[in-house]
A and B are shown apart, each in its own frame.
Chain A
Amino acid sequence: MTLSSVSWQHRLSAIASGFLGDWLEARRNPLALSMDFRHQGQVVTPDSPVVPDPKATLVVLIHGLMELESVWTFPNQPEDHYGSRLNRALEGGVTTLGLRYNTGRPIYRNGQQLTEALEQLVSAWPVPVQRLVLVGHSMGGLLIRSACHYGLNQGHRWLSALSDCVYVGSPHDGSWLAKGAQASAGVLNALPRDYLRVVGEVIDLRSEGIRNLSRGDVLAGEGELAALVPNARHFVVCGLLAGHARHPVNLLFGDALVHESSAQGSGQGDWILAGSATFSGIDHIRLAHHEAVAQQLVEWLS
């Protein structure tokens, strides 16, 4: 069961959307990806979902910045992903949907749209949804928190089916690279040489989505904290570049983009997590399709 067929044009659109998605959307440029659920390469419309053999347990895989749902697919195994592993492990099986969206938009706007889409999807699902599992990689994890916040505010019913949220390498407290870009642009823009200010201005062209990753902003108000939604279990998966946890490379770069403390949401207040796992030697991208992570998810969610 493949999540999606992806061409080089899809990939280019995803990269362009990540860098400049808000600007592309404002210009109605077709490179700006729209938000949709996908199953076996087909778009699933939230208000009239049609999938073969729909299950009562839904798993939604949400990719990160500049990615597509194909990031979840195991290398050289196009039909294998975390959803297919859970399908085999959970009683009754699961239906897995991949979410595709414009990662350059502000996270809160994607969150507001996602909660509406989930409300429609769960209401119109061909069988009553008994369990909903959201798995987000990188920015996808922030999007889950944003959607949960707005869904809670609007009294959405899909939250009553939500059983588990899994945040895979999500920069809840920001990514060091996004922070570095912001700081570099600030310094360069303040310098008296025009050729240096030009570099700062080019860095400043980055999308709102990338800017949100500086601090892990998931709500419309800057710096506003979004608590973990109650009545659901929350799991955190972290990666580390080097094989030894205390290796200096891990302290500097974490999983290449996100530090372990940020992935655990250390700066977000008192989070009560149902589980947290750190995988040394697995980088940021491989966290989305790694055997060890798959085993951990099956153990947590079974």
Chain B
Amino acid sequence: MTHEKQAQAKWWLGVTDLMANGLAHGAEKVQRAHLSIADESFNVLARIPVTRPVSEPVRAMHHGISRLSYGSVSRVAGALAACSQQVLTEAAGSDQQPSPEASPQD
């Protein structure tokens, strides 16, 4: 593989690492925002006598499905991030003193 192709491969690996980490952490944060916004509505429903009996079961179901969905995305992305980190570490180890011409951006 030429220097240029190696540099391109490393650059895309870097993008993959960034995206995977972004997705893993992003899914966790979106889940927290989603659940806390939903809680605002469920808290209102819990104070209304007509909806009070069903609000808690619906809240539990909603939160369970949300946690499962976001958690799945986060775990898959986290696994991908761990793989990319491993490859990046190995690549850095085998390329301790890169020449300027082999810079990933060139």
Chain B residues positioned under 8 Å from A30 (CB to CB)? 10-11, 13-14, 88, 104
Question: Which residues in chain A, 176-203, are within 8 Å of chain B measured between CB atoms?
Answer: 193-195, 198-199, 201-202
Minimum CB–CB distance for A13 against chain B, Å: 5
Task: Say yes or no: B104 contacts A43, CB within 8 Å.
Answer: no
Q: B92–A195 contact, CB under 8 A?
A: no
Contact (Cβ within 8 A) A9 B11: yes
**Contact of A31 with B15 in the complex, beta carbons under 8 Å:** yes
Complex interface residues of chain A between 182 and 229 (CB less than 8 A to chain B)? 193-195, 198-199, 201-202
Given A10-B105, A30-B11, A31-B18, decide whether A194 and B36 contact each other with a Cβ distance below 8 A: yes
Once A36-B100, A194-B35, A194-B36 are accepted as A-B contacts, the answer to whether A29 and B29 lie under 8 Å apart by CB is: no
- In the complex, the answer to whether B15 meets A28 with C-beta atoms within 8 Å is no
Residues A201 and B101 in contact, CB atoms below 8 Å apart:
no
> How many angstroms from the CA of A288 to the CA of B97 in the assembled complex?
33
Whether A43 contacts B33 in the complex (CB less than 8 A), given A24-B18, A27-B88, comes out as no
Could you say which residues of chain B place their CB within 8 Å of the CB of A36? 100, 103
8 Å CB interface, B19-38 against A: 29-30, 32-33, 35-37
Please report the C-alpha to C-alpha distance between residue A45 and residue B100 in the assembled complex, in whole angstroms: 8
Q: Is the CB of A198 within 8 A of B105?
A: no
Q: How far is the CA of A13 from the CA of B7 in the complex (A)?
A: 13
The CA of A166 and the CA of B30, in the complex, are separated in Å by 44
Chain A residues, CB < 8 A from B66: none
B residues within 8 A CB of A199? Answer: 33
Q: Given contacts A30-B10, A198-B29, A198-B32, are A9 and B105 in contact (CB under 8 A)? A: yes
A181 to B57, alpha carbons, bound, how many Å? Answer: 39
Q: Quick check: is A34 within 8 A (CB to CB) of the other chain? A: yes
- Given that A9-B105, A10-B105 are known contacts, is A28 also in contact with B89, CB under 8 Å in the complex? yes
Choice from A24, A28, A202 contacting B29 with Cβ under 8 Å: A202
Q: In angstroms, how far is the closest chain A Cβ from the Cβ of B15?
A: 7
Q: Which residues of B contact A198 (CB under 8 A)?
A: 29-30, 32-33, 36
Q: Give every chain A residue within 8 A of B17 (Cβ-Cβ).
A: 27, 29
In the assembly, what is the distance between CA of A159 and CA of B1, in Å?
Answer: 43
A201: which of B29, B36, B92, B100 is its contact (CB, 8 Å)? B29
Q: Is B55 an interface residue (CB 8 A)?
A: no
- Specify which chain B residues have a CB less than 8 angstroms from the CB of A16 in the assembled complex: 18
Residues of B within 8 A of A (CB): 10-11, 13-15, 17-18, 29-30, 32-33, 35-37, 85, 88-89, 91-92, 100-101, 103-106
A-B contact pairs, 8 of them (CB 8 A): A13-B11, A28-B89, A31-B18, A36-B103, A45-B100, A193-B36, A198-B30, A198-B33
